[in-house]
Structure 1
């Protein structure tokens, strides 16, 4: 039998974890104090870039560089990662005039990265460096240097990249967000680069993309016997039917919920017309609204289906909660 250990208290393992987190927290706090005009210059170089931001780094800095490139690319700044070792063996051709290079190296002396300096200068490609040593080779040859230095690593040996990689990652995020805000990047812009994610679906899918239409649109005319409305609901399987007037405009809807109320209020259904028991005017939406907005309307009104109408109030589709679930909108 085991019991859950409370999150508070002390143990050698938790004490070690707290020291690590405190050191990395301090490393990030120090970055705030060191932000200066070089950060503005780095942003200006990227905003003026006609090509892409090429992010490079070796070892642990390379892993951080890959994440920074991915964050930039997903927030409105076209970017990709190039391995510095591969760059010296052919991949330098991925860098073109008009690009900007962002190079990460804690020491600022990483041989595979500094080897690129002469080539970048000849190509006249602006260089932004992010290092832990402002006096390093990489920092001195950069057009803008971002100081990501830390007092010490969280590693008790002061060897394994820990605080330094956390600081570089945070500074990369700060750069991406500053550029995002400067560009006026919106949630819809973000969704366009994440079409497969849940956010993309919520922000891009519209009712028109999901609704049932044509022969799948449940509909009966005003004056129809209730029996016809029930057969239409059963045939289409959406839990409701539209009820339209002589001009084809939506007059109301009849739903599974209406049927329960009808059974409760009427002992004889034979002579009932759908007009007598339908819900007027019925909840409706336009086809061009976001599917996420349709979800909100359904939740607010505690319903599972909606009629979709055009600008003249004529039904053009039907949307069911199951369609929204299947699409990943909810």
Structure 2
């Protein structure tokens, strides 16, 4: 049945509705094979929520589109201690666009598996994607494709992007002057980060366009299938009517053949009877001729 990782990957590729039964079956199989430790680990796997399933499916079905998210998160975490508030706000806007695009891709990925995400579940998907941007651990969990629930954003988000409700923002402490080399270093890092974000946005835009075209093509095919189904149904009705007409015609043909055989039999009987009557008539004529001859002879004898 494979090792734990193989079993877990297979289970977390299933929809939440199918997960529990498949997990229990895998655990029972491991137990029957004598591997109680593996059975216990499998049994401990949590059933994924619908939003977690959507993210897992996104990671599995669209890895090239998710990879820029990991690059962006790494770059943000590397640069957060050095970047100023205005730059972080600029990157935050780009982050929101990336998260929104991937959330839409996750919705589509779930729909392909027959699952529909409600607004609350879409918000959980967004939360999980933001958590992957903010935390290396969350990014690793997302990349594994085995999350069971929405990931939480941790405190290592880039500073200045969010503030707790009801608490005034405090002025940042004065930073020591940065050496020219350090400034150049972080300017280069910022430039690289912006390039990665631009690449991610371009990749997502391309993927979104391809997805729209695929949706249109799928709709066209669905329309064609529906039309063909209608034509097939009409053709089936015509075939059924033709089959019934053929059966009726075959019935009439069989009856006509049986009537023909009966008439042939009657004709044969009539012919035999006619032959017998003709034979009897001939015998009667012969007997009449003999009788007439005897009568004539008797009459001659009587005259003489």
TM over 0.5: no
Question: Which protein is richer in strand relative to its size?
Answer: 1
| TM bin (shorter chain) | under 0.3
Q: Normalising by structure 1, what TM-score?
A: 0.24
Query: Which structure's CA Rg is the greater one?
Result: 2
Choose between structure 1 and 2 for higher RCO, CA contacts under 8 A separated by at least 6 residues. Answer: 2
